[in-house]
Amino acid sequence: MRVLVSGGAGYIGSHTVIRLVEAGHDVVVVDDFSNAKPTVVGRLEALTGTSVPVHSFDLTDVDKTEHLFANETIDAVIHFAGFKAVGESVAKPLDYYQNNLDSTFSLLRAMRRHDVRTLVFSSSATVYGAEPRLPMTEDLPTSATNPYGWTKVMIEQVLTDVAASDDRLRIAALRYFNPVGAHVSGDIGEDPSGIPNNLMPFVAQVAVGRREKLSVFGDDYDTPDGTGVRDYIHVDDLAAGHVAALDRISAGTTPMSIWNLGTGQGVSVLEVIKAFERASGRPIPYEIAPRRAGDIAASYADPSRANSELGWYATKTIDDMCADTWRWQSKNPNGYPDA
């Protein structure tokens, strides 16, 4: 298939491009580079040995999106593009709602006009809200604790209703747990702009000397060591999950599918720190700080639906995740170069 990957220059998008090419698919990328560096494209081409066509524009531009679909052969879409910073979404909710919803509307309209019926959407375990039952199963009610999370809840609802209105559609929403790690080459990885919001890139920047120490937000949660527990999943496993979901829905007859992509294992903040110290051979200084508003004690998937329906399993351990993150971070201490 020829697959349009929106946000294909971003963290998860770029790893998925590699997996798609490895699986024999052709790839077209659209990215506005508002949160990605153009230099990722050359690295993708070097790693895959293929040319990756890249269209650089904002998908909320309906005319440019139409032009793209009119001028490229597209069999399926994987939609990663979207604003994703929780704190920023609280400060700028209208920007988040408008960008994330309108880019999805624009894609769905272009798909309809050009008879593209297959879509994999980048959702998140954040849709399980503030007080999820553990482990999280796909049939739990959805809600959110911030506008970023609500955009995921809302887009899932839009996709569910659109799929219900046209049984020729093949749509999947993939609920990611906590993606970390990097391509095994160390040439593609996570390159957050500004202060990282997530644990792993922060730890990696401490290890490489860009930041002095880590703040651990809360050590009095009801968890084995008191720190927050998350289901970290290697970004390469996640990328493989997208290819598996794409293959599954393309071959099936179900208009709407939802799958958790997680390992099913909870790992605490202190366990991540120790694993990263082992992987890097460097100490990770940290201090205990107050809990952050909106954080929950523990989050981990029940991945059995994806296991059984997709034949997909997360294969990589927390040590693999830290080793690959460290390889990326030590080879690219300041992330991707600018030009």
Q: Please, what is the end-to-end C-alpha distance for the chain in angstroms?
A: 31
Closest by CA to 175, choosing from 98, 241, 254, is 241
Considering the complex, what minimum distance in angstroms separates the CB of residue 202 from a copy of itself?
25
Preceding omega of 53 cis (within 30 degrees of 0): no
- Taking the C-alpha atoms of residue 307 and residue 316, their distance in angstroms, rounded to an integer, is 15
Considering the complex, what minimum distance in angstroms separates the CB of residue 164 from a copy of itself?
7
Burial class for 212, CB neighbours closer than 10 Å (0-12, 13-18, 19+): exposed
Closer residue to a copy of itself (CB): 77 or 206:
77
> Do residues 179 and 238 lie in contact, with contact meaning Cβ atoms separated by under 8 Å?
yes
- Taking the C-alpha atoms of residue 172 and residue 170, their distance in angstroms, rounded to an integer, is 7
Closest by CA to 54, choosing from 66, 37, 63, 121, is 37
Closer residue to a copy of itself (CB): 46 or 91:
91
Considering the complex, what minimum distance in angstroms separates the CB of residue 160 from a copy of itself?
9
| The pair of three-digit structure tokens given for residue 171, joined into one six-digit string | 């749509």
- Taking the C-alpha atoms of residue 119 and residue 111, their distance in angstroms, rounded to an integer, is 9
- Taking the C-alpha atoms of residue 141 and residue 136, their distance in angstroms, rounded to an integer, is 10
Considering the complex, what minimum distance in angstroms separates the CB of residue 163 from a copy of itself?
9
Considering the complex, what minimum distance in angstroms separates the CB of residue 126 from a copy of itself?
14
Q: Quick check: is 148 catalytic?
A: yes
Closer residue to a copy of itself (CB): 37 or 92:
92
| The pair of three-digit structure tokens given for residue 149, joined into one six-digit string | 């999370």
Strand-pair category, 178-180 with 214-217: unpaired
| The pair of three-digit structure tokens given for residue 239, joined into one six-digit string | 């990328």
- Exactly one of 11, 96, 148, 232 is catalytic; name it: 148
Closer residue to a copy of itself (CB): 162 or 272:
162
Residues that bind a copy of itself in the complex, under the rule CB under 8 A:
90-94, 97-98, 101-102, 105, 108-109, 112, 147, 150, 154, 157-158, 161-162, 164-165
Considering the complex, what minimum distance in angstroms separates the CB of residue 97 from a copy of itself?
5
Closer residue to a copy of itself (CB): 32 or 156:
156
Considering the complex, what minimum distance in angstroms separates the CB of residue 168 from a copy of itself?
14
Closer residue to a copy of itself (CB): 19 or 152:
152
- Taking the C-alpha atoms of residue 192 and residue 210, their distance in angstroms, rounded to an integer, is 13
| The pair of three-digit structure tokens given for residue 120, joined into one six-digit string | 């994999």
- Locate tokens 């052709």: which residue? 26
For 193, what's the count of Cα atoms within 13 Å in the CB-facing half-sphere? 11
Which phi and psi angles does 205 have, rounded to 5°?
-70, -30
| The pair of three-digit structure tokens given for residue 297, joined into one six-digit string | 């004690």
Closer residue to a copy of itself (CB): 60 or 265:
60
Catalytic residues: 148
